Structure 1
Amino acid sequence: MPRVRLKPLSRQTIVVTGATSGIGLATVRMATERGAAVVLVARNEDALQRLAEEIRGRGGRAEYQVADVADPAQVDAVAAKAVEAFGSFDSWVNDAGAFIYGRMEDVSLADQRRLFDVTYWGVVHGTLAAARHLRHQGGAIINVGSVLGDRAIALQGPYCAAKGAVKNATDAFRMEFEGEGLPISVTLIKPGPIDTPFMEHARNAMGTQGTRNPPPAYHPRVAARAILHACETPVRDLYVGTAGWLTSLGGALAPRLTDYAMEVLAKPTQTSEDPGRAERRDNLYEPKEDLSERSSLAGPAPRGRSLLLDAQINPGKAAALVAGLMAAALGAVLAGAGTNTSRLRYHRRR
């Protein structure tokens, strides 16, 4: 198995697709805050230009390339832009995705193919373009999957299918790169519900006013933290959010029970009377309003921390914490047992 050495973020150039919204936007902002240079990739040229100016205005380094990741030639142009602008790149984040809510029977085949072109083929195109460069110098490829790639949910069938394909393609790339001895780390990020504009960007085939995430949702910066950890640290998978991980676990251990639960919960947890911002609605074929990490939908504030992610990033600290809690619990039990024994002896003496 090849030894992969990854640079600190402050010395990296990172390519991020889907950079103008949600997790991708949070990732590039956090990366530049930590000193990385970034190549921003999306379809929305106006948003790309404004984001690059924002980053440069804070003293960061940013270039952009307009691209639809469904087109491999446009993705190859992204790699060329990164080399032209910065001489090289060290990490490539495949984050771009498309979203559709609706029953499988109600979503047109053309729309399903378009979703796959972006969400699955975009990852394949990006991984191939990145690997052609990184096979010589080493680096990281980070693919943003989903817990829905482990376990499908009703009313998001095409998206779940595409994310399942992303998971399997990522695993195949990883094994093949390792088998060839390439110094490339390949990581799959598996977010649960994240409060991003994807609910507003999604095409809605349910006939409802709006769509939403099943709760609880996490802030996009929690997912961005996982991505940036993978840029610096070779790791196979990272889950973001305990609830999402439990969904995957439930699907593996009790698939039929999970089916029944989702059949009951799918519609009430994914439909809303709040349509969100009209300017963002339905970007399946054309870009819409961008430059927001979070959605505009009303609801509880997203969680800003995932203890499960903390445990994956710092397994030693997590083990120490668990050991400490167990020791404290054992100490309390023994202390209680000692007190009870003393009382028993006292009563016997009397």
Structure 2
Amino acid sequence: MAPRDLIDIDRIFHEPAVADYPRGREILARYPNAERIEVPSHWNIPDLHGNAGSVEDWVRIKRSTLVLGVKKGLTMRPNGRSAHFIAPSTSNGCAMSCAYCYVPRRKGFSNPISLFVNAEAVCAAIARHAGQQGPLPEPDQIDGQAWVYDLGENGDLSVDAMICDNVRDLVALFRGLPNAKGSFATKAVNRDLLAYDPQGRTRIRFSLMPARIARIVDVRTTPIPERIAAIDDFVRAGYEVHVNFSPVILYEGWEADWAALFDAIDRTISGAAKDQLACEIIMLTHNAGLHAVNLGWHPKAEDLLWRPDIQETKRSEGGGENLRYRTGWKGKWLARFKTLLAERMPYCRVRYAF
């Protein structure tokens, strides 16, 4: 998907202070013809937040609307799964429209990209925190040598980088931190990132699933074959490249589809990429609220995602009620998934499975 097909901004909601920041002025100047609407907070936008009618204009809002704000909270949250810490986000929301994404419920139904214009404050907070950690005491499932900071919990940095240099700044930051790495997952191939010179200090995780399923649920993302084909290029550019098998969606024939995906990866990537490869495996999490949202704009996806016959309600760490595959069966399906992976990609270490 070409950048203009993904992003064509004609409306910008912005906090009053945005123009006080160089990054804010840069972004505003990039879209001189866009309508500008001042709002008290990037979280308080009546035209977006809680507007159920937005499901009717889902893709148009994703493509044409941008929100600009100033990041307030700069604390690091312990993680211990995919990363050691969750860094303060430089963005929220996304131009893509994955049907299983939990973010739409948080800021309007379509939830376009929000960018924070004080990325330098985020970078400074990460640098201070990393400086306080000292060396990683011992290798663990997250990394063998460095503290890892997840940078894109609520968005996709590959797409953010099409709009401004926040991501370039983050990659440059970690290039100079001897005891830390940045990490983010992506469903987009943005080849501009190949020029960022990460020097092994940024981990990019390409999210992958069987292509025929991605065509239904990974809406407005880079096609799966293109993501696989990009792995070698990013390894050569100095990134540590891992893959996220996420989400793993269960349906009749899922094992054959995933086996074919593993074979395609194995055929495509180089020995150098295989030598450094690791993965995360994340089984689908869904919930009734997102199900209701999806029925308004993409009901076909719910045939795959909404499976109460094999799902059960679980309370999340954040206190919400989610649907996950049933206890007992989920463990058996995850074990089968790992067996398939080991048979076809024995070099791919599983860092994290959930």
Q: TM-score range by the shorter chain?
A: 0.3 to 0.5
Bigger proportion of residues as strand: 2
Compute the TM-score of the two structures, normalised by the length of structure 2: 0.34
Compute the TM-score of the two structures, normalised by the length of structure 1: 0.34
- The structure, 1 or 2, with the larger RCO (C-alpha pairs under 8 Å, 6+ apart) is 1
- Structure showing greater radius of gyration is 1
